[in-house]
Structure 1
């Protein structure tokens, strides 16, 4: 009996890429595949997206970029948060990887670089205050980079901090700040993350950097994945390994934190925090068995969770439960567990077997 299995649906991934193009046509799309493709397998994700026409990929580090190259990805790759040293730049030049410049130390390293021409992007801080140069320095910085012999300034970018909430005024401020900083500077621009693609047309610019929407999760506070016609890419399932009928008032699991309110069936599913299922998921977190949604009850164990089977009285040992995916949106599970879909995807452990459709 298979234990936890994560099935990756490449057709769903391609569908979600098409949704990006529907919302922001005629833009370059650099898919975010950092953190091993948000836990989905970077090589599988990038290969499927490249075959579907994605222009390039955004990762966190040089190591992640090289993993894509070793997986056979030849399309452009940009690193979003890689510190730049002489050794790093030499590897980037050798493998055709595009650095993002966000610290003054990067400028000195680039000035000394003598390898194959590097196409670099300059990151400006328009108000999120995480990475990037102050936006008002854009003109001086672009001049400095253009003076470097082996570096070509490919464009300027920024990142949106609150685009998931259409009511938050910070996004308006960031867009205005970025636009003002680049007034009179003719170069490609990149702003939009997934939320920008969906809700902020003014952020679409030249190059999009969608992430979570490609994997079928909504980045928005006010719209679901179904609202946005996004398809789940990961379907996480595990078997029902035990079931029993208990009387009223019986404790369930470690700490006896949940008591049966009446005589009822309890099921045990073969997945736990050792597989990456969130230990902090509370009683009531949804799980799907067949067409029924049943609540998790009691504490999550390393290898097992327990569920209330009253809504699925005919569930049998060996039936597979859906932890998230088709029939149970990952966003619903994340909301119940007090986290976000990104974390659920990324925390799965090597004990989970991955299949690819």
Structure 2
């Protein structure tokens, strides 16, 4: 028999979340971000569930081509653009839109002389300082694209650094408006957080990511408060039970020592499955639908759950690591990370089960 750990991917939840996002997007089209294997959910499964969206955004040419092979005919955007001139021909052949964020990419386009029109998203660095042209260079970059006869399908884009916290988007939005003002092109700005909090950022294309998967983009707002439903539930089981007396230590490093008689459940899940090794004692976990806590150090294939207050729990009891009944952001917060990392980290050895 296989190890009892598996992920259930709820395609109905994905469809529901897309509907919630569509309500917030207004008239803007939705570029669903499904990079990183659909945030760990399985890109093909996510794409099929979100087939009614207006476009998909990915990180690599291979992901984009896979979508075309699945039969997707609508827009696909390469969020980091091309990494070499050889990818431009593939973008032409497969009708893949390219993010352009530095002058080397423009030089590659000029040298390749694509035979057919390319869709381009010209990216402004409005303050995140990751990708994009500096404001003083933006119009020069745009002029170079305009001079190319096969680069007439242009969308202007930027990305917010702090749409999910109290700092907000006002500073960046001012830079964006100054650069984009009166330019006759569509605009793409909003990520999940901006989509929910800042209607002024909607533009013509929105690019939701984490909200599609049912996790909140905000540290201070639960996903359920946004009417989002978790798309991934990570399941396992208790595979052994240990009884500890006061003074007994648990697991590698003896990081937890019992101060009372304790029942400990050994869970078939570890950091090789994608669970964070740094999750401390006290991280929430569900056993038989009841909330309890992890104990000690997470090892490669196993971890520990406190069963002391759960007399009905025993070997074979069902465990939920995150998902339905236990928001992934609650686990992430306890582990000092974010839900994105947990979802994307699901290991290949953890299968999907219906």
| 1:1-357 correspondence runs (5 A) | 2-50=3-51, 53-112=52-111, 113-165=113-165, 167-169=166-168, 171-356=169-354
Secondary structure of 1:151's match? coil
Q: Which runs of 5+ in 2 are unaligned?
A: none
Query: Is contact 2:195–2:201 with CA below 8 Å preserved after alignment?
Result: yes
Secondary structure of 2:352's match? strand
CA distance in 2, matches of 1:90, 1:190: 25
Structure 1 residues 26-78: Cα deviation after superposition (integer angstroms, max 9, x where no partner):
2100000010100101111011101xx20010111212212222333222100
Structure 1 residue 84 displacement after superposition:
4.3
CA distance in 2, matches of 1:57, 1:306: 39
The Cα RMSD (Å) is: 1.3
Q: Which runs of 5+ in 1 are unaligned?
A: none
Q: What TM-score, normalized to structure 2?
A: 0.96
Structure 1 residue 143 displacement after superposition:
2.3
Structure 1 residues 174-207: Cα deviation after superposition (integer angstroms, max 9, x where no partner):
1111011011211100000000101111111110
CA distance in 2, matches of 1:16, 1:233: 9
Q: What TM-score, normalized to structure 1?
A: 0.95
After TM superposition, the structure 1 stretch with the greater mean CA deviation from structure 2, 37-46 or 217-226, is: 217-226
Structure 1 residue 153 displacement after superposition:
3.3
Structure 1 residues 199-239: Cα deviation after superposition (integer angstroms, max 9, x where no partner):
11111111000000000111113211111111000000111
Secondary structure of 1:106's match? helix
Aligned residues: 352
